[in-house]
């Protein structure tokens, strides 16, 4: 078992994985485990420090999440964040109450001069942090002192320096906490003494070794979509096991314009990977006929993918494994794999395999964020044009059509989407944004073309800026670019007479519409 520099105990915060992300940016290797992980399992990973994450519950709720209190006897530095702070306060004899002033959003953090802490080395007094809490610590445990405060939180951060136990009411891991990454770095480097540097080069070597050990002389069926994630998985597996890899690309009829041809060119010509293409478009569309509920769409597509792969697997001897490009955000939003995080939506490639499928699952990217996957792709020698391609969901255009999925609407959406991407690339905004796509709203409105009245469909353009997809803001595209996109879609795509632009952010909206 690989030693872990920092262990993060997950209490269900939607931000937990951002803690891991910030630490990895500082080249600190960490792992997230459920809050209920036993101390023996933690000790086996040989960590140098422990972080208790935030969470949606109250420490006084019935069945409140608790840690194995033996972790406090390990002598390791501990940092509690939000719920983790309240957990520490209660566990050490302090008191937590409902605050009369709930604190959500940005706050100024001021350091207590009499209790200067190495945790804030290099941070400026008055730095902006992100609060998200209703409970607050009212009474400090014995041995703890306040080291920072905000207008509504006299105990915004506390510490027992002698035992190296620290706690923050705010979230240093989110982007809005301006110097939060410095605080997390200080905890890992200066307090926990982590000195080794971890990067994608290390991850690549570890994964190749792990894949070879797991696969042995077996064969791996690899699910390819042509996107960044599955491409990196295929390249990684081919690097590790060569011809033991059976890469299968399924044309599900839900792809963008020219997608199949592009995928076949990249893998067969550039990567020299033998690619099997299965045309299952009719099969998928039959299964989706009349289905309008987005969760049912996702589940049908996921189950159909697995059916197709099983049918293909039967044509080859020795297949024992199925590889997928599952990422951390997929896991977070689908199911509480690591801890008690709330389900947002299901993903077609998350949650394991059905009982009737005799494959072991290989998900080498399961612990990575999208930007880390791109770095890994470059380590593997993939072209930048592929590595920096915008994310494309496994369910494809099915979740970008509101309502029933049919050939007519798919063709309509493909043409509009192709125009959007073409204009973004020509203007240079494709590489400046995280994700861009068109959505067919299936909302008709009256229009005028020439001297004729029209009653046609509406396309919504969605373009967002993000770092890892966990949060996102709509891209502030120039008005002349938006006008050009709108004009071309309306003029060139029969059946569209109106284009709108989505200016919602994540949260509260998701990036995809379904």
Residue 299 backbone phi and psi in degrees, to 5: -70, -40
225 labelled ligand-binding: yes
117 labelled ligand-binding: no
d(CA 435, CA 391): 6
Instruction: Write out the DSSP string of 263-317.
Output: HHHIIIIIS----EEEE-HHHHHHHHTT---HHHHHHHHHHHHHHHHHHHHTTST
Q: What is the tally of helices (H) and strands (E) in the chain?
A: 14, 19
Does 34 lie in the same domain as 104? yes
Mean pLDDT (the chain) is 88
Does 306 lie in the same domain as 230? yes
Does 11 lie in the same domain as 152? yes
**496 domain-assigned:** yes
d(CA 447, CA 470): 37
Quote the radius of gyration of the chain (alpha carbons, Å).
25
Does 422 lie in the same domain as 375? no
229 labelled ligand-binding: yes
231 labelled ligand-binding: yes
Does 209 lie in the same domain as 100? no
Per residue in 299-312, pLDDT (tens digit) is 999 899 888 878 88
Does 446 lie in the same domain as 345? no
Here the CATH number for the domain that contains residue 135 is: 3.40.50.880
Here the CATH number for the domain that contains residue 450 is: 3.30.300.10
- Asked if 468 contacts 457 with a C-beta cutoff of 8 angstroms, the reply is no
Residue located via tokens 């071309």: 488
Given 191, 216, 250, the domain boundary residue is 191
Does 298 lie in the same domain as 334? yes
Torsion on CA atoms 472, 225, 272, 238, rounded to nearest 10: 80
Indicate the number of domains in the chain: 3
**74 domain-assigned:** yes
**218 domain-assigned:** yes
Does 353 lie in the same domain as 267? yes
Given 359, 387, 415, the domain boundary residue is 387
Does 43 lie in the same domain as 169? yes
Give the pLDDT of the chain (514 residues) as one tens digit per residue.
Answer: 467 899 999 998 878 888 988 998 899 988 888 999 999 999 999 999 999 999 888 888 888 899 999 999 999 999 999 999 999 999 999 988 875 556 678 889 999 977 679 999 999 999 999 887 667 788 999 999 999 999 888 899 999 999 999 999 999 998 889 999 999 999 999 999 999 888 888 889 989 999 999 999 999 998 887 788 888 999 999 999 999 999 999 999 999 999 899 888 888 887 788 899 999 999 999 999 999 999 999 999 989 988 887 888 889 888 889 898 888 666 655 534 344 544 444 444 544 555 556 778 899 998 788 888 999 999 998 888 888 889 888 899 999 999 999 999 999 999 999 999 999 999 999 999 999 999 999 999 998 877 678 899 999 999 999 987 878 999 999 999 999 999 999 999 999 999 999 999 998 999 999 9
**294 domain-assigned:** yes
Q: Which domain holds residue 119?
A: 6-191
**514 domain-assigned:** no
d(CA 387, CA 240): 19
Does 185 lie in the same domain as 86? yes
**b (16+ CB within 10 A) / e for 5-17:** bbbbbbbbbbbbb
- Asked if 15 contacts 27 with a C-beta cutoff of 8 angstroms, the reply is no
Does 489 lie in the same domain as 356? no
Does 242 lie in the same domain as 272? yes
**506 domain-assigned:** no
Here the CATH number for the domain that contains residue 221 is: 3.40.50.620
Q: So which residues are the catalytic ones? A: 82, 171, 173
Q: Is 51 left (phi over 0), alpha (psi -120 to 50) or beta?
A: beta
């Amino acid at each position: 078992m690989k030693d872990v520099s920092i262990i993060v105990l997950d209490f269900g915060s939607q931000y937990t994985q951002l803690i891991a992300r910030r630490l990895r940016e500082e080249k600190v290797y960490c792992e997230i485990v459920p809050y209920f992980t036993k101390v023996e399992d933690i000790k086996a990973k040989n960590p140098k420090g422990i972080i208790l994450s935030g969470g949606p519950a109250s420490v006084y709720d019935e069945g409140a999440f608790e840690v194995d209190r033996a972790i406090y006897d390990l002598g390791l530095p501990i940092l509690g964040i939000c719920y983790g702070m309240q957990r520490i306060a209660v566990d050490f004899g302090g008191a937590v109450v409902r605050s009369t002033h709930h604190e959500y959003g940005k706050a100024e953090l001021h350091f207590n001069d009499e209790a200067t802490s190495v945790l804030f080395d290099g941070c400026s007094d008055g730095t902006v942090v992100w609060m998200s809490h209703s409970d607050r610590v009212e009474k400090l445990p014995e041995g703890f002192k306040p080291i920072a405060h905000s207008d509504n939180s006299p105990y915004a951060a506390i510490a027992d320096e002698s035992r190296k136990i620290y706690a923050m009411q705010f979230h240093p891991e989110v982007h809005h906490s301006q110097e939060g990454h410095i605080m997390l770095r200080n905890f890992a480097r200066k307090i926990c003494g982590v000195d080794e540097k971890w990067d994608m080069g290390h991850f690549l070597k570890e994964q190749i070794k792990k894949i070879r050990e797991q696969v042995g002389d077996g064969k791996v069926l690899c699910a390819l979509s042509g996107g960044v994630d599955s491409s990196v998985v295929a390249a990684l597996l081919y690097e590790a096991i060569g011809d033991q890899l059976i890469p299968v690309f399924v044309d599900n009829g839900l792809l963008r314009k020219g997608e199949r041809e592009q995928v076949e060119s990249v893998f067969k010509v550039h990567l020299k990977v033998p690619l099997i293409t299965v045309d299952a478009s009719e099969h998928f569309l039959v299964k989706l006929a009349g289905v309008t509920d987005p969760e049912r769409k996702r589940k049908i597509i996921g189950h159909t993918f697995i059916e197709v792969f099983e049918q293909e697997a039967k044509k080859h001897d020795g297949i024992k494994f199925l590889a997928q490009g599952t990422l951390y955000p997929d896991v977070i939003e689908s199911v509480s794999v690591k801890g008690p995080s709330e389900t947002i939506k299901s993903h077609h490639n998350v949650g394991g395999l059905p009982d009737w499928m005799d494959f072991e699952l290989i998900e080498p990217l399961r612990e990575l964020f999208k930007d880390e996957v791109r770095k890994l792709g470059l380590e593997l020698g993939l072209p930048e044009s592929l590595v920096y391609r915008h994310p494309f969901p496994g369910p494809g255009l099915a979740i970008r059509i509101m309502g029933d999925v049919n050939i007519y609407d798919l063709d309509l959406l493909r043409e509009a989407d192709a125009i959007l991407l073409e204009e973004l690339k020509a203007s240079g905004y494709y590489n400046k944004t995280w994700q861009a796509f068109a959505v067919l709203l299936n909302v008709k409105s009256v229009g005028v073309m020439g001297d004729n009245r029209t009653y046609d469909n509406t396309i919504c353009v969605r373009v967002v800026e993000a770092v890892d997809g966990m949060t996102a803001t709509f891209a502030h595209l120039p008005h002349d670019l938006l006008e050009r996109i709108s004009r071309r879609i309306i003029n060139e795509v029969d059946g569209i007479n109106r284009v709108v632009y989505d200016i919602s952010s994540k949260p509260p909206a998701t990036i995809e519409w379904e």
